[in-house]
Chains A and B, each alone.
Chain A
């Protein structure tokens, strides 16, 4: 028996307010079960807050975020990679194994599974090192492995390659494509238009706390519908 997917995710009038001004909202959006969604927009537009809102890390001031299954179930089948990944003060291997341990896996089994993942992402040699001494690129790879190790149905990433060099970026993108091919729904924000073009199946353009445009990738990049989106793609400063 196939368990029901947690998707589609529906946002209805969802709003997050911080201090008096609205950070983001109201958002009306349906996230389908398939796809590699890229979220783009100028700084301060609300991309990070949108992702966190979808993941359930922000308290809503209005509206609702609804999964296809009860929320307690949905929470267990997602993962998030933060822009600045949290390195737990333990070894690389233990970091990646942690989500499995939370789930009751035995220490031996969890470390074995983590070890396999580390080989897969190219951090095999670093397994015994303390996570906080890793470089930026290595940290993001660790965070990605840690996020994927429980085979989540949906993976959110907040500008994961923001401070990485070309080689690290290539490795991360390859991993994401692999994960997507294996069935993980991906929603990722980025500043890099080249990356967006490479990876996106559909695009969400966020501007001033609202989703100004949502379209399939080919459509959006060939001819964006809104003026601000077009200006943004051109490289103009969009306020």
Chain B
């Protein structure tokens, strides 16, 4: 049996097909990762299945994939169930299930993930953590269903994203990142702390028009003073955010919505731009 050729996406597609075939519409989401991990692994890998899923209050710990004691060929997922967001728990379970499918052969003693490991979503952060995250996102939020919730051409507000976060039982952050992957609009997710950008992710359409922030191997980028993320201004509607004039985030105007996460000590901004313009594209090109 070879697992090496299987990518995180392929595993998630395979499981999505099974779930689509067997689950009724009402019970399709959120994905019951506990049951899925046990049943699928028993079926697919009867020689070393997941036989245990156990949650408890485990401070500073997210979750881990563990080998059974006494040389038994069984695996277990142990996770912190005292995390304040239910979405984080479901994501953690999917993440550890991903480690089982993708990495257990390379890490025969198991894998433990600490707090903060999984809230750092940038791909530079550890290849196997990244792969487990890609698996979790694809499994919990299949794009065919997500597109039915939010059309790729739609301008979003926080209620729409909140609806999806609830539907898939994931954090707002996870739901926004997934949306950024497929939206046809120009949008950027910016995660910041103490007035500087930690990391950012652009939609394809935004990236193509030169709308992105480079945050590795370059000096920190400060949050513009006029931006909501600066915490200096308050929008009339938290849900819909604010329309910002040109030369705040970008040369052109944009909409900004923010979520302040006290728990993880960062600020999430969703920036949305008008879709037309080839103007800026030419401008950017001529600069390089």
Question: A and B, one complex?
Answer: no
Chain A residues near B (Cβ < 8 Å): none
Chain B residues near A (Cβ < 8 Å): none
